[in-house]
Chains A and B, each alone.
Chain A
Amino acid sequence: MKKQGPKLEVLKWIGAAVKYVLFALMILIWAFPVIWVILTSFKGRTEIFTLPPRIFFSPTLEHYIEAFLRTGDIAHGILNSILVATITTILTLLVAVPAGYAFSRVIFRFRNQLSFFALMTQMAPPIGLIIPYFFILSRTRMLDSYSGLIAIHMTLTVPFSIWLMITYFQDLPASLEESAAIDGASPFTAFLRVVLPTAWGGVGVTAIFAFIESWNEFLYAVVLTGSRTKTVPVAIFSFLTTEESLWGPFTATGVTIMAPVIFVALFAQRQMIKGMTLGATKG
């Protein structure tokens, strides 16, 4: 039996203290690099290389101005990234949401085999896809085209979007379509009018993940894009070459790439974490 005494009180207190130190350390380790990039992007040219590093300084926008004005590359890259990520997201939702619904609610032949196929495509190593993709696109003169990049970005987004949507649709009550069927609605009308409106939350989270995946994507973009369709994760390399290392414009561009993602994470952290761990905890 446990004894309640002053000794236990002290132990409890130490336990709580250790926990809070661990908590602070965790935030330091995971958030600090990101905060450091943001701080550096606002530091003056000389302050970046001041030792000891400064947390407080007078902020400047010079690196942002330089990043965007030195060449048109970054602004152009951001526009390309927005275009590619937006179209990738829309097309992904158009094919993945109906598939997720059918896999979770409709019984048809080969359903298990087909859903397993969708899962397996997610495991395809990107380097194994990009080599034939590059070869085929270069033969058909489709390198540096938006459609080629969008199609291959969808190989990343469609499989996980189907899986996310399956888990969201599984949570909806079956009575939903039953009542619609009794009213004589076709399955498709029932899906569109009755089921979809209740699943917007899941669709939204799926859209966020698809957009982020395409927005951040690097390997396919660096191989397939040229001066016309270069996305911003590729363009950012121009600041850190063997000749020069421009930390200021690099961090300013880095912050620009991270900003929309951080912004979404601040508002939708709960839903995003749920979406990420759902597949793993439900299994």
Chain B
Amino acid sequence: MSVAFKTKKVEYQKQWERFGFAMISPSMIFLLLVTTVPLVSLFVMSCFRIDLTYPLGNGWIGFKNYLEMMKDARFWHSIRLTAIYTFITVTLQVVVGLGLAMAFFRGFRGQGLMRVSVLLPMILAPVVVGLAWRTLILTPEYGILDYVSILLGFGSKPWLVDPTWAMISVVIIHTWQWTPFAFLVFLASLNAIPQEPLEAALLDTRTSWQRFRYVILPMLRPAIIIVIIFRTMIALRAFAAIFSATGGGPGTATEILNLYAYRVSFNSLELGYGAALGTVLLFITVAISLIFFRMRRSSTG
């Protein structure tokens, strides 16, 4: 290989690398400015008292917001609700999604119709979804679900006015909205399993439960983990549907951490304390995603 050719190759590689940097820098600089800088500001803000309604006394207060938070019953209540909301919605999505995917994975007629109907909840405006549930579906008597409940003899339910029922309602709405994602991912993964080992394994097992438990479930493990990661992240940032269905109420019955931080920041205009709540949410999100990434790495080898 001649020296001239070698230097030309090095030259070309350098040009190629410069090109790569040029292509990514606009988006990286943008993301740094609009995500990293605000998140650092969020933490800084959380060490201030920033009350826009009573600006007197605003200023640096160190970790006082966090100390106050430890004693704040409403904060612990919102943490509890966030945990319940996330755990139940994600579990329901995985279980229902997996069940439906198992029922449908061998192909059948009418797939186009089903694809559209399961796609819609995920891509329609969460605000419209939340408001539609609040009015057309859950209104006593005139809401269609309440009407069906009466028809079936269960009677009218206090869907959005009773604290426990309100929580059940927002869980139902979220599950309705996002189970299709789990279903579609599992369906795609089932269809991607190579047929031969699957059929060979099916011959060895007796009951269909064994088949599911020892053959199909292990093959779906990576998909299940990924669905849990994605859905947990989405559940932690759930806002618009709950906001429009219950507004966090009645009282604080559906006030997950997200909504509490919103109400403190934009209804009470206590931005410092709101920022502290936001920082806690950020840490929870980062911690959970790191745990999941580790789980995923160990499962895929």
Contacts and interface: CB of A to CB of B under 8 A. Distances in A.
A102 B21 CA distance: 8
A245 B128 contact: no
A84 to B, nearest CB: 14
Contact of B31 (A31, A118, A152): A118
B13 to A, nearest CB: 9
Contacts of A98: 23-24, 26-27
A99 interface: yes
B116 interface: yes
B108 interface: yes
Contact of B136 (A33, A96, A130): A33
Interface stretch (B85-93, B162-170, B221-229): B221-229
Interface of A: 19, 22-23, 26-27, 29-34, 36-37, 40, 48-49, 51-53, 94-96, 98-99, 101-103, 106-109, 111, 114, 117-118, 120-121, 123-136, 151-152, 154-155, 158-159, 162, 181, 186-188, 191, 212, 215-216, 218-219, 223, 233, 236-237, 240, 245, 247, 250-251, 254, 257-258, 261-262, 265-266, 269-270, 272-273, 276-277, 280-281, 283
The interface centre, meaning the residue of B26, B112, B125 with most chain A CB atoms within 10 A of its CB, is: B125
Contacts of B142: 48-49, 51, 53
Contacts, number: 275
Interface string B173-202: 000100011001100110010000000000
Give chain B's interface residue range (CB within 8 Å of chain A).
35 or more
28 contacts: A23-B104, A27-B114, A30-B121, A34-B121, A48-B142, A53-B147, A108-B16, A108-B21, A118-B27, A121-B35, A124-B39, A125-B278, A127-B278, A128-B42, A131-B42, A134-B266, A136-B38, A136-B41, A154-B30, A158-B30, A188-B22, A233-B125, A233-B127, A250-B135, A257-B128, A261-B125, A280-B230, A283-B296
B265 A131 contact: yes
Given A19-B103, A276-B184, A283 B226 contact: yes
Given A281-B223, A283-B300, 11 more contacts: A23-B110, A51-B141, A51-B142, A106-B16, A123-B289, A127-B265, A135-B41, A158-B30, A187-B16, A212-B123, A277-B185
The interface centre, meaning the residue of B12, B31, B103, B278 with most chain A CB atoms within 10 A of its CB, is: B31
Contact of B23 (A31, A102, A117, A245): A102
A212 to B, nearest CB: 5
B282 interface: yes
A132 B275 contact: yes
Nearest to A18: B103
A22 B96 CA distance: 12
Nearest to B226: A280
B239 A33 contact: no
Nearest to A32: B144
Contacts of A106: 16-17, 19-20, 23
A127 to B, nearest CB: 5
A114 B24 contact: yes
B295 interface: no
B135 A23 contact: no
Interface of B: 12, 15-17, 19-24, 26-28, 30-31, 34-36, 38-39, 41-42, 45, 50, 100, 103-104, 108, 110, 112-129, 131-137, 141-142, 144, 147, 176, 180-181, 184-185, 188-189, 192, 222-223, 226-227, 230, 233, 236-237, 239-240, 243-244, 258, 261-262, 265-266, 271, 274-275, 278-279, 281-282, 285-286, 289, 296, 300
B114 A53 contact: no
Contacts of B15: 186-187
Contacts of A128: 38-39, 42, 278-279, 281-282
A206 B296 CA distance: 26
Contact of B119 (A40, A162, A273): A273
B160 to A, nearest CB: 12
A11 to B, nearest CB: 12
A262 B116 CA distance: 9
A72 B118 CA distance: 34
B134 A124 contact: no
B227 A37 contact: no
A188 to B, nearest CB: 6
B124 A34 contact: yes
A135 B31 contact: no
B207 to A, nearest CB: 13
Contact of A22 (B21, B103, B176, B230): B103
A270 B114 CA distance: 11
B29 to A, nearest CB: 9
B100 A131 contact: no
Given A114-B28, A135-B45, A216 B127 contact: yes
Given A36-B136, A233-B128, A280-B227, A273 B184 contact: yes
Given A114-B24, A250-B135, A125 B285 contact: yes
